[in-house]
């Protein structure tokens, strides 16, 4: 016990014990999880906490828990956003291909409408 304790600071009505071990990664993980709307404790979610507490014997489905509903809504939102972005990407690809094809068609028209050789130069080419 004395090996782990570096010093004991006694403040009025509060006793702080500082250890030689660092908990910085744990604190960083905590803030990272808070910023993303997750629970502070990663063990607070999981099969034991998210699964229903009971089941009906006649086979009726159990009502969804609050976190299950929230997760389901979040997944639906992600899915709709993915579908929307995929459709935007497909539209952009089609538009790009159309613009490239029109540029190529315009280039071919310019080449086709060039001035043609006349007279003796035309006869020499054949």
Contact in structure between 79 and 87 (CB atoms under 8 Å):
no
Q: Let me know if residue 26 belongs to a domain.
A: no
How long, in residues, is the chain? Answer: 126
* Rg of the chain (C-alpha set): 35
For residue 115, tell me if it sits in a domain. Answer: yes
Does any domain span residue 18?
no
28 lies in some domain: no
Concatenating the DSSP letter of every residue in the chain gives -TTTEEEEEEETTEEEEEESS--HHHHHHHHHHHHTT--SSGGGSSHHHHS-S---TT-PPPPPPHHHHHHHHHHHHHHHHHHHHHHHHHHHHHHHHHHHHHHHHHHHHHHHTSPPP-THHHHHH-
Within-domain flag for 105: yes
Domain count, the chain: 1
What is residue 77's predicted lDDT score, i.e. its pLDDT?
Answer: 97
- Contact present, 54 and 60 (Cβ < 8 Å): no
List the one residue out of 73, 77, 101 whose CA is nearest residue 85: 77
In a domain, 37, yes or no: no
Position 118 in a domain: yes
Residue 125 falls inside a structural domain:
yes
- Domain range for 125 is 64-126
pLDDT tens string for the chain (126 positions)?
444 444 454 545 555 555 556 555 555 667 777 888 877 777 777 666 667 777 889 989 888 888 889 989 999 999 999 999 999 999 999 999 999 999 999 999 999 888 777 777 777 765
pTM above 0.75, yes or no: no
């Amino acid at each position: 016990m004395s090996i782990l304790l570096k010093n004991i600071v006694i403040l009025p009505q509060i006793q702080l014990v500082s250890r030689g071990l660092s908990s910085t990664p744990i604190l960083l993980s905590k803030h990272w999880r808070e910023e993303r709307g997750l629970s502070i404790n990663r063990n607070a979610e999981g099969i034991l906490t998210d699964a229903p507490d009971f089941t009906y014997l006649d086979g009726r489905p159990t009502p969804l828990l609050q976190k299950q509903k929230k997760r389901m809504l979040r997944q639906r939102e992600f899915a709709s956003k993915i579908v929307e972005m995929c459709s935007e990407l497909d539209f952009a690809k089609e538009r790009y291909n159309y613009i490239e094809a029109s540029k190529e068609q315009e280039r071919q028209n310019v080449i086709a409408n060039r001035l043609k050789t006349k007279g003796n130069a035309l006869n020499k080419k054949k």
